[in-house]
Structure 1
C-alpha cells in the first residue's frame, strides 16, 4: 500500500472499535441481572426460562429461550436488555461469524441464551472478537468481494456488510445503554435504594 492510500480495512474496524472502547464498553460494566431482565412495560419480549413465556414463539437450545412472533407484530414488541443482547449476539454477530468467518453454525433456534447478565456480556465480547478478527483477515481485497447467498442482498460487498453490522451494533447497544439509564432513574431513589 502506498503511504498516501487509505487503509479501508483499518478504517472500518476503527469505526466500531473507537465507539466500543470510548462510548459503549464502560457503559455496560456492572450490568446486573435485575437490569438485564427488567421489563419496563407489560408484554415486553425477553429471554426467559424455557416454558415461562407467553410470546407466540420462543426459541433457543438451552434452559432459556428468546421471545418472537412471525410475522412481527405492529407496532413491534418492546424488548428487554436481555432480548436486545440476545439479538446482537446471535442475529447480528454469531450468524454472520458462522456465514463468513468459519465460526460454528449459529441461529436463534440453536443458540443457548444467557440466563444472566455476565454470561451475556461474555458471549457478546466473544462474538465481537470473532467478528473483528474476521474483518481484519478480509484485508482490502476481501472487502470488495460479494457477500453472496448467505445474506439478503447477495450483490452487496463485504464492506457494505461490515458497515451494516457496525450500524446495528451501535444502534442496539445504544438502546441497551438507554434502558440502563431508564432503569436507574425509575427503579432507584435519590439515595440509591431500589424503589
Structure 2
C-alpha cells in the first residue's frame, strides 16, 4: 500500500515545505538545526536534545526498572535536572510543539531507523544508525534505497524464531529502549512507526496535490 501511495513522487514534492520553519533535508552548509546529521552532503534536521511529552512514561519506566537518573540523562542526552523535572511531573503533560516535517524528513527518519534496526538486530551491531543512510534530495533514489533496506529487514524478520521474538535485548539499537525489550515489542514499535509516518506522508501528498491545482 505504501509503495503504491508513493508512486510518482517528484523531487519538488519530496522537499516541499508547506509552512515556515519545517524540518527537512538540507545541504550541510545550509543546516538550520543544532543536531542535523548524516554522513554526506545532505543532512537531516534535528533540534536540541530533550525528552518529549510522549516519552514521559518511558522515562518513568526506566526509573522504575532501576536505572539511575544519571544513566537516564545520558540515554536521552539531557541534563540530570531535566530528568528530575520529568519524573516529578504530575498529571497529563502539555503536548509537544513539534515542527512540521517534509516528506523527505519523514522518509529519511524511517530509513535510518530501518537501516539501524537491521544493523543492531541482525548485523554487526556497531555502526551509528544516524550515519548509515546517505540522504539525497532525489525522491526516486531515496525511495529505491529505502525499499531495499525495508526488504532486507522483512526478510531477516521472517527468519526469527519464537525464542528470539521473546528474547529481551535481541535488538541492541542504541536509541530508545530496544536493549530492554523483547524483540516482539521492538517489531510492534517498528510497525507503528512505519504506519504513522506513512499516513503522514499520504496526507502531505494530498495537500501537495490540492496546492498544485
Give the deviation of 1:116 after TM superposition: 0.9
2:39 is the alignment partner of 1:65 = no
Give the deviation of 1:63 after TM superposition: 1.4
The aligned counterpart of 1:83 is 105
Q: Distance in 1 between matches of 2:20 and 2:190?
A: 30
The aligned counterpart of 1:96 is 117
Q: Name stretches of at least 5 consecutive residues in structure 1 with no aligned partner.
A: 1-22, 190-195
The aligned counterpart of 1:7 is none
Q: Distance in 1 between matches of 2:46 and 2:118?
A: 22
The aligned counterpart of 2:140 is 118
The aligned counterpart of 2:191 is 166
Give the deviation of 1:106 after TM superposition: 4.3
Calculate the TM-score normalised by the size of structure 2: 0.71
The aligned counterpart of 1:10 is none
Q: Name stretches of at least 5 consecutive residues in structure 2 with no aligned partner.
A: 53-95
Aligned CA RMSD, in angstroms, stands at: 2.0
Q: Distance in 1 between matches of 2:41 and 2:152?
A: 25
Give the deviation of 1:99 after TM superposition: 0.2
CA contact (8 A) 2:11 2:138 kept: yes
Give the deviation of 1:177 after TM superposition: 0.9
Q: Distance in 1 between matches of 2:179 and 2:170?
A: 4
Equivalent position SS for 2:158: helix
Calculate the TM-score normalised by the size of structure 1: 0.77
Q: Distance in 2 between matches of 1:143 and 1:46?
A: 34
Q: Distance in 2 between matches of 1:43 and 1:55?
A: 10
The aligned counterpart of 2:78 is none
The aligned counterpart of 1:50 is 28
Instruction: Give per-residue Cα distances to partners, 1:45-66, cap 9 Å, x unaligned.
Output: 1011221122223211111011
- Aligned residue pair count: 165
Equivalent position SS for 2:29: coil
Distance 1:149 1:99, change over 3 A: closer
CA contact (8 A) 2:15 2:137 kept: no
Equivalent position SS for 1:48: strand
Instruction: Give per-residue Cα distances to partners, 1:5-47, cap 9 Å, x unaligned.
Output: xxxxxxxxxxxxxxxxxx3210011110011000000010101
Q: 1:108 aligns with which of 120, 125, 130?
A: 130
